[in-house]
Structure 1
Amino acid sequence: MASPTGTCSGSNQFQNSGSEEELQALMDEKRKKRKQSNRESAKRSRMRKQKQVDDLMVQVSQLRKDNTQLLTALSVTTQSHMAVEADNSVLRTQMMELSNRLQSLNEIIHHMNYANNNNNFIINTNASIYDGPHENTFINPWNNSMFVNQPIMASADMYLY
């Protein structure tokens, strides 16, 4: 009995060791396939990452170019704005000067009209100044229409200094 069981057990050991070797070879093959698959996956991952980095570098380059263009446009716009502000300041100053002159001229006209009204009365009562052969015509430079209605001319050049 020992021999049939011994033979069986020897046969089982031989089968087991054959199975184990096959199993080991199968596991080694699976391990090799897994390693190869992992290598290929890592290679694809590195390629994807490299493509992402390349795409990002292209994007960075484009954004830098856009940024440079925007900065140039901003600089031009800022210079234009400053020029318009300077012109606006000059125009405001000229407007204030002209407003002051207009107010002064209006005051002069008002005083001249007031003086004309009063001078006519004074001159008419004072018969010592004559303006011609008629005794009732008096000299009154403020009443002379040639002077009262003359516009005051101003040159644009005078505002440049």
Structure 2
Amino acid sequence: MSMASSSGNSSISTKSQSSGSEGDLQVVVDERKKKRKQSNRESARRSRMRKRKHLDELTKQVSQLAKGNGEILGTIDITTQHYLNVEAENSILRAQMEELSQRLQSLNDIVDGIINLTNATTAYERDCYLTSAQNITTKNNTLCLNQQAVFQW
């Protein structure tokens, strides 16, 4: 019996050693799981913080770009208005230039006529010129010659 009891005791002690080892092993595994969970939680927290920080930076960048776009649009509006003003002024100046060119041409025609008239050799030639030059006008009727020129020879 002593053998049986000793072998019975040894199997009991092996079971208790085995349970003790498994228990210790389970404690170690549980402790590792706890550490891993804690580490994962910290990692997730850091990841959320990085994402939040990145989102804040992107939001700030969007705000700055929107402000820059607004300034650019304002500059474009001002430039467009200046362009339209200059274009309108150029149109007026072109019309004035055309009118002045026509006036100059009319005056040059009158001067040429006067020169031709003074160089004309007969009274008939002078009368023909005066008849054709009676109603020389510019585009806006600002220059009219409705009177006959009187010259003394």
Whether the TM-score (by the shorter chain) exceeds 0.5 is: yes
Q: CA deviation at 1:9?
A: 3.6
Q: RMSD between aligned alpha carbons?
A: 2.2
Percent sequence identity is: 52
Please give the per-residue CA displacement for 1:111-150, whole angstroms capped at 9, x wherever unaligned. 22112211xx225xxxxxxxxxxxxxxxx84578xxxxxx
Q: Which amino acid aligns with 1:122?
A: T
Describe how 1:20-59 pairs up with structure 2 within 5 A.
20-59=22-61
Q: 2:122 maps to which residue?
A: 122
In the alignment, structure 1 segments of 5+ residues that lack a partner are 124-139, 145-161
Q: 1:96 maps to which residue?
A: 98
Q: 2:146 maps to which residue?
A: none
Q: Which amino acid aligns with 2:122?
A: I
Which segment drifts farther, 56-65 or 91-100?
56-65
Please give the per-residue CA displacement for 1:53-82, whole angstroms capped at 9, x wherever unaligned. 111111112112212211111111111111
| Residue from 67, 70, 74 that aligns with 1:68 | 70
How far apart, CA to CA, are the structure 2 residues paired with 1:71 and 1:90? 28
Q: 1:10 maps to which residue?
A: 12
Classify 1:9/1:86 alpha carbon distance in 2 versus 1 (closer, same or farther; 3 Å). same
Describe how 1:138-149 pairs up with structure 2 within 5 A.
141-142=150-151
How far apart, CA to CA, are the structure 1 residues paired with 2:151 and 2:60? 83
Q: Which amino acid aligns with 1:55?
A: E
TM-score (norm 2): 0.72
Q: CA deviation at 1:97?
A: 1.0
Q: Which amino acid aligns with 1:18?
A: G
Classify 1:142/1:113 alpha carbon distance in 2 versus 1 (closer, same or farther; 3 Å). farther
How far apart, CA to CA, are the structure 2 residues paired with 1:6 and 1:69? 93
How far apart, CA to CA, are the structure 2 residues paired with 1:95 and 1:6? 128
How far apart, CA to CA, are the structure 2 residues paired with 1:18 and 1:143? 148
TM-score (norm 1): 0.69
How far apart, CA to CA, are the structure 2 residues paired with 1:80 and 1:30? 74
Q: Which amino acid aligns with 1:15?
A: Q
Classify 1:45/1:108 alpha carbon distance in 2 versus 1 (closer, same or farther; 3 Å). same
How far apart, CA to CA, are the structure 2 residues paired with 1:66 and 1:80? 21
